[in-house]
């Protein structure tokens, strides 16, 4: 059976290849748009049928079944495009939820009268094209996107199994809505009441992508990272007492990269330690070398600093320095042949305690005796003179000093 069609007038024609075609009977079946079944429209002995199409029909499918001399013949199905299926243009693409780790794209277009289905098509920046889904109207939200990528969207109108041509496309790049300004809730250059701080800060604006890198240190050029957080406060505990600290905050992107190399900075000073000192420093390590003595002692809880005192050959102890460390290098006027005694005082604002007394001595050597003899015989230059024991405290090198050195070497002098 051969089927012909006159689309403009919606008049369906067909023919049967038989010796006596006028003896045939024809049943006409029609299916409109997205209907699932063909409906019987007419039975005729003619080889044409005039059909009135309902309003707003886009596609028409039809077929004919012929009865001829007791046999049944079925035609193929023919589909007629009644009118052009117009697709809408993209009118707006908006990145949504870009203050979170799961951004999306809001796709907007103008709805077309009597079109109830729209296919959303997306192409990514690698050239991959996917059909996202069907929507009945604008807008459509695409949540399957990632930061740092670009996407192109198109809309296809859909009627039944028929798709319209692409509407106008739109493109968008997915990026965060970053924090650009940050204010501290803490006082800048303030003095704390303890050795801990709750660092609090607030961005300028709403629905921003918030991720912060927190660093702290006593030198703004040498900082230690505390943590990366999405929160707006960080607890910082167990800081050193009576110490000035710098807190730096960097704004990060979705890859934990700094948006700017310039941090937001807070400067603060911890309070003095008010707890009493109950343990004394124990000087456990001492070394001596040419013209210098190195002291080391145990760390004392609640001590803010240590004062160092020195006695020379049993004289009164005198203050020679202060440190926050647990070691000290004494090189001021250290001479061979003398016995030195040291005390370390651990202190804070309310209390102090003294260490055990520790003794040190830099022994004289044979070279010192030779030097002294050279000085006595006027054969030593000033560059060869070294500090040795001044036995009689006359400020001169004489035979008394030479005898003293030999006695020290021999072990007959304490």
Judge whether 396 lies within some domain: yes
Torsion (CA) 386, 392, 397, 400 in degrees, nearest 10: -110
275 within a domain of the structure (yes/no): no
Rg of the chain in Å (alpha carbons): 49
φ, ψ of residue 57 to 5 degrees: the values are -75, 135
The residue behind tokens 């049943």 is 27
Are 94 and 107 contained in the same domain? yes
Number of domains in the chain: 5
DSSP 62: E
Same domain, 355 and 370: no
DSSP one-letter code for 83: S
Same domain (yes/no): 259, 188: yes
Beta strands 305-312; 318-323: pairing state: antiparallel
277, part of any domain:
no
d(CA 225, CA 403): 62
C-alpha 403/C-alpha 364 separation (Å) is: 12
- Verify that 95 and 151 share a domain, yes or no: yes
Q: Are residues 189 and 227 in the same domain?
A: yes
Q: Are residues 195 and 249 in the same domain?
A: yes
Clarify whether residues 300 and 356 are in a common domain: yes
Same-domain pairing of 356 and 375: no
* Same domain for 159 and 94: yes
Identify whether 390 is part of a domain: yes
Range of the domain at 48: 2-81
Closest CA to 334 of 367, 294, 307: 294
Domain with residue 22: its CATH number is 2.60.40.10
Per-residue pLDDT in tens (0 to 9) along the chain, 414 residues: 545 444 445 788 888 887 677 788 999 999 988 788 999 999 998 989 988 888 777 788 999 999 988 889 999 999 887 777 889 999 999 999 999 999 999 999 999 987 889 999 999 999 999 999 999 999 999 999 999 999 999 999 988 777 888 999 999 999 999 999 999 999 999 999 889 999 999 999 999 999 999 999 999 999 999 999 999 999 999 998 889 999 999 999 999 999 999 999 999 999 988 888 999 999 987 777 667 889 999 999 989 899 999 999 889 999 999 999 999 999 888 877 788 999 999 998 889 999 999 998 776 554 555 555 555 555 544 334 444 455 555 555 555 655 655 555 555 555
User: How far apart are the C-alpha atoms of 224 and 246, rounded to whole Å?
Assistant: 10
Give, as one character, the DSSP assignment of residue 106: E
According to the model, what pLDDT value does residue 7 have? Answer: 43
Is residue 278, in this structure, part of any structural domain at all? no
Residue 130 lies inside a defined structural domain of this protein: yes
Q: Identify whether the C-beta of residue 156 lies closer than 8 Å to the C-beta of residue 86.
A: no
Establish how many alpha carbons lie within 13 A of residue 108's alpha carbon, considering only the half-sphere containing its beta carbon: 7
Q: Is residue 308 included in any domain, yes or no?
A: yes
Quick: pLDDT tens for 186-235: 999 999 988 999 999 999 999 999 999 999 999 999 999 999 999 999 99
**Could you give the CA distance from residue 390 to residue 392 in angstroms, rounded to a whole number?**
6
122 and 45 inside one domain = no
Choosing from 60, 81, 102, the residue where a domain stops is: 81
* The domain boundary residue, chosen from 81, 110, 137: 81
Supply the pLDDT for residue 381. Answer: 45
**Residue 22 covered by a domain:** yes
Quick one: tokens of 165?
Answer: 């041509």
Chain-centroid distance, C-alpha 230: 9
Q: How far apart are CA 217 and CA 212, in angstroms?
A: 17
Are residues 163 and 227 both part of a single domain? no
Query: What six digits make up the tokens of 203?
Result: 């961005």
pLDDT tens, residue by residue, 223-272: 999 999 999 999 999 998 889 999 999 999 999 999 999 999 999 999 98
Distance CA 332, CA 309 (A): 12
Residue 62 main-chain phi, psi, to 5 deg: -145, 160
Judgement on whether residues 186 and 246 belong to the same structural domain of the protein: yes
- The residues with which 305 forms a beta bridge, in sequence order, are 347
Q: The pTM is what? A: 0.55
Look at the chain and count its residues: 414
Where does a domain end: 173, 199, 231? 173
Q: Residue 211: which of 232, 226, 225, 196 has the closest Cα?
A: 232
């Amino acid at each position: 059976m051969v089927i012909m069609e006159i689309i403009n007038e919606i008049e369906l024609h067909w023919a049967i290849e038989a010796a006596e075609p006028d003896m045939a009977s024809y049943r006409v079946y029609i299916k409109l748009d997205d209907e699932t079944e063909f409906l019987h429209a007419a039975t005729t002995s003619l080889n044409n049928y005039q059909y009135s199409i309902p309003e707003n029909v886009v596609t028409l499918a039809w077929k004919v079944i012929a009865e001829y001399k007791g046999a049944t013949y079925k035609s193929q199905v023919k589909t007629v495009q009644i009118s052009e299926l117009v697709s809408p243009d993209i009118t707006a693409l908006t990145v949504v939820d870009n203050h979170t780790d799961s951004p999306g794209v809001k796709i907007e277009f103008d709805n077309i009268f009597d079109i109830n289905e729209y296919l959303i098509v997306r192409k990514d920046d690698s050239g991959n094209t996917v059909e996202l889904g069907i929507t009945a109207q604008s807008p459509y939200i695409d949540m399957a996107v990632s930061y740092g990528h670009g996407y192109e969207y198109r809309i296809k109108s859909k009627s039944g199994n028929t798709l319209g041509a692409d509407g106008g496309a739109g493109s968008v790049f997915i990026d965060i809505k970053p924090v650009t300004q940050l204010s501290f809730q803490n006082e800048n250059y303030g003095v704390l009441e303890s050795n801990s701080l709750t660092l609090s800060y607030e961005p300028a604006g709403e629905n921003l992508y918030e991720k912060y890198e927190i660093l702290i240190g006593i030198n703004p050029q040498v900082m230690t990272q505390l943590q990366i957080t999405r929160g707006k406060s960080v607890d910082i505990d167990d800081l050193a007492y009576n110490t000035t600290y710098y807190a730096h905050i960097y704004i990060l992107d979705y890859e934990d990269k700094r948006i700017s190399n310039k941090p937001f900075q807070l400067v603060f000073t911890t309070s003095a330690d008010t707890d009493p000192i109950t343990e004394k420093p124990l000087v456990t390590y001492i070394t001596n070398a040419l013209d210098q003595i190195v002291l080391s002692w145990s760390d004392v809880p609640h001590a803010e600093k240590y004062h160092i005192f020195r006695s020379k050959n049993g004289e009164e102890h005198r203050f020679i320095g202060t440190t926050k460390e647990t070691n000290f290098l004494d090189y001021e006027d250290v001479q061979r042949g003398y016995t030195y005694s040291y005390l370390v005082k651990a202190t804070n604002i309310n209390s102090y305690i003294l260490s055990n007394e520790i003794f040190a001595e830099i022994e004289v050597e044979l070279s010192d005796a030779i030097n002294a003899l050279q000085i006595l015989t006027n054969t030593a230059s000033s560059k060869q003179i070294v500090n040795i024991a001044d036995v009689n405290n006359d400020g001169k090198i004489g035979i008394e000093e030479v005898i003293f050195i030999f006695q020290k070497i021999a072990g007959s002098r304490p």
